[in-house]
Amino acid sequence: MNKIPKSHPRYLSLVTREQISKGMKQGVVHETGLIAHGRGEAFDYLLGETTILPTNKAAKAAAAALLAGNNPVISVNGNVAVLAANSCVKLANLIPAKLEINLFHRTQMRVNKIAVLLQTHGANTVYGVHPNAKIPGLDHDRALCEKEGIFTADVVLIPLEDGDRCQALQKMGKMVIAIDLNPLSRTAQAATITIVDNVTRALPQIEHWVKELKGKKQSELEKILKTWDNSKNLSSVMSFLSKRLNSLS
């Protein structure tokens, strides 16, 4: 890794780029993951690279959903593994939730490497290594899942999704929580709860709310979910973006 001086004004962004690039060279991140990262960076720039109020509310709703679920699962792909393996494991242990590897550009080699990475960060069982079920309606490898994991999950957290799986999971009757910096993406628009934030900030934010809400009665968690309006929250995100751009112009 090239030495990036801490004094550089874009230090965090540059270090994150290096992480993604290293992850690709190690065979964890797919090469198109670099393009996805670039798109995310652009939206993060517009947000001001910070967690905004509507996003914090979404993180609270997500925490309530994950705690209220009977079989919550956190789905992990290449970018997520490289950027946030530790946060994924911490969150999974805290809820508790299962971790399942689910890849768009699936190779057994990448799956195995991601499983090792998660285990290095303290994961116990990692699902998705030996899939034995399929999400109906998907013609690509993202359909592959495990019966005990995503297939029978009632709540699925999908950071950095690529689109149609979100709708397919919802058609199966699951509650889907998306983390996506692009509020206009198909995933962001289709999810039950959309967190428009960088996965590196969103996962610790969900963890914060899980700690706050753990121990609350099921009825209190359900009340948070009943009053949740994803379209309204996405509108607040758009209005934040438009106001920010106006104020800068």
Strands 144-145 and 133-134: antiparallel
* Total number of residues that touch ligand PTJ (CB under 6 A): 25
CB nearer to ligand PTJ: pick between 61 and 191: 191
Q: How far apart are CA 182 and CA 237, in angstroms?
A: 10
- Find where tokens 């359900």 sit: 222
Q: Which of 91, 179, 224, 234 binds ligand PTJ (CB under 6 A)?
A: 179
Does position 39 interact with ligand PTJ (CB under 6 A)? The reply is: yes
Question: Smallest gap, in angstroms, from Cβ of residue 13 to ligand PTJ?
Answer: 11
Q: How far apart are CA 32 and CA 53, in angstroms?
A: 31
Q: Is 244 helix (H, G, I), strand (E, B) or coil?
A: helix
Q: Which residue type sits at 2?
A: N
Q: How far apart are CA 153 and CA 73, in angstroms?
A: 6
DSSP class of residue 10 equals T
Q: How far apart are CA 156 and CA 71, in angstroms?
A: 9
Q: Which of 13, 56, 71, 105 binds ligand PTJ (CB under 6 A)?
A: 105
Question: Smallest gap, in angstroms, from Cβ of residue 80 to ligand PTJ?
Answer: 8
Does position 199 interact with ligand PTJ (CB under 6 A)? The reply is: yes
CB nearer to ligand PTJ: pick between 115 and 179: 179
On whether the CB atoms of residues 52 and 219 are closer than 8 A, the answer is no
Q: Which of 180, 205, 209, 228 binds ligand PTJ (CB under 6 A)?
A: 180
CB nearer to ligand PTJ: pick between 54 and 78: 78
Does position 194 interact with ligand PTJ (CB under 6 A)? The reply is: no
Q: Which of residues 146-175 bind ligand PTJ (CB under 6 A)?
A: 160, 162-163
- Find where tokens 């034995």 sit: 132
Q: Which of 55, 75, 79, 205 binds ligand PTJ (CB under 6 A)?
A: 79
Bond into 54 cis (ω within 30) = no
Does position 143 interact with ligand PTJ (CB under 6 A)? The reply is: no
Q: Which of 51, 55, 77, 192 binds ligand PTJ (CB under 6 A)?
A: 77
Nearest by Cα to 55 from 186, 185, 177: 177
Q: How far apart are CA 75 and CA 67, in angstroms?
A: 16
User: Would you say how long the chain is, in residues?
Assistant: 249
Question: Smallest gap, in angstroms, from Cβ of residue 45 to ligand PTJ?
Answer: 11
Does position 78 interact with ligand PTJ (CB under 6 A)? The reply is: yes
Contacting positions for ligand PTJ (CB under 6 A): 30, 32-33, 36-37, 39-40, 43, 77-79, 83, 103-105, 160, 162-163, 179-182, 185, 198-199
